[in-house]
Amino acid sequence: MSGLRDALGVYLAVRRALGYKLDRAGRLLAQFVQHCEQAGAETVTIELAVSWATLPAGGDRAWAAQRLSVVRGFAKHLAMVDPATQVPPADLLPGGSHRATPYLYSDDEVARLMAAARALRSPLRAATLETLVGLLWVSGLRVGEALRLDRDDVNLAHGLLTVRDSKFGKSREVCVHPSTAAALAGYAKRRDEVCPSPEGAAFFISLSGTRLRYDNFHLAFQGLVREAGLTPRSPKCRPRPHDLRHSFAVRTLLGWYREGADVGARLPLLSTYLGHVHPANTYWYLSATPELLGLAADRLQATFGKRP
């Protein structure tokens, strides 16, 4: 094992002890360290960082900037103990705005995604992907939260999911509708029939019986998107798994506005359900759709419009 690989282990351990998950960052940095090892390098240089971040040639500039940002954090850590470490400047690979435009799914589009999952040849893969897509759509869970669920975290009798050690180290309980609990029970039964001896306690499993990984689910989801005939609405608005969560939040807010509810009073409930640290984080969903903005503006006009 190289010195850089040892240093990466220390860096990830320290950051994770502070509450950061670093799932994707950990995978990317492992690839970067391998890139350095193949080059025979024992320390991080700007040249190595840029050459790795810009792979493959002609790739997306924003993605290259994100990759370099991940290396920059690692390099700043290394520089404290190794003065030879070069820290890439923050503006070396400007990538513009990284925030994608949310792809708000319709009921029909989600039904098509789930139908595409059911059509897969593997019974286990079909059941896992169909159930996962449906759960994300109706619960607003983060993808990582759903994938980290263990069997003991899914209380089917009470329709309760226990999300443990999520973003910023927060845990919470998520209530689901009886129909959702029934769908989860159906999946569990089918999963145990097809894979009676899994490796570990994960609720959602892969074909090998291990916990389903995020990158594998993301790749499979893109396949479902193609089969369902979903297409990007713009270069920055493409169907992503995370947008199922975004769609859940927008549907909830729209429903409250339409029924004339006190959204301000209910927003902390939605924030807690979604696992947000502050209600202000949930307010960002207001910008996701013109209809939400219009309803919010109408509410403000009704409240303040008659004042001089």
Catalytic residue of the set 15, 242, 266, 299: 242
16 among known catalytic residues: no
276 among known catalytic residues: yes
242 among known catalytic residues: yes
Residue of 47, 58, 52, 57 lying closest to 35 (CA atoms): 52
Catalytic residue of the set 35, 167, 218, 236: 167
> Which CA distances in Å does 223 have to 10, 81, 106, 227?
36, 44, 18, 6
245 among known catalytic residues: yes
20 among known catalytic residues: no
Catalytic residue of the set 67, 112, 142, 246: 142
Catalytic residue of the set 211, 245, 246, 251: 245
Compute how many other C-beta atoms are within 10 angstroms of the C-beta atom of residue 214.
18
Q: Which residues pair with 211 in a beta bridge?
A: 205
Q: Is the peptide bond before 308 cis (omega within 30 degrees of 0)?
A: no
Contact 228, 266 (CB under 8 A): no
Distance CA 152, CA 161 (A): 9
Distance of CA 154 to the CA centre of its chain: 20
Catalytic residue of the set 112, 211, 251, 276: 276
Q: Which two tokens stand for residue 220?
A: 């499979």
246 among known catalytic residues: no
Tell me which residues are annotated as active site: 142, 167, 242, 245, 276, 285
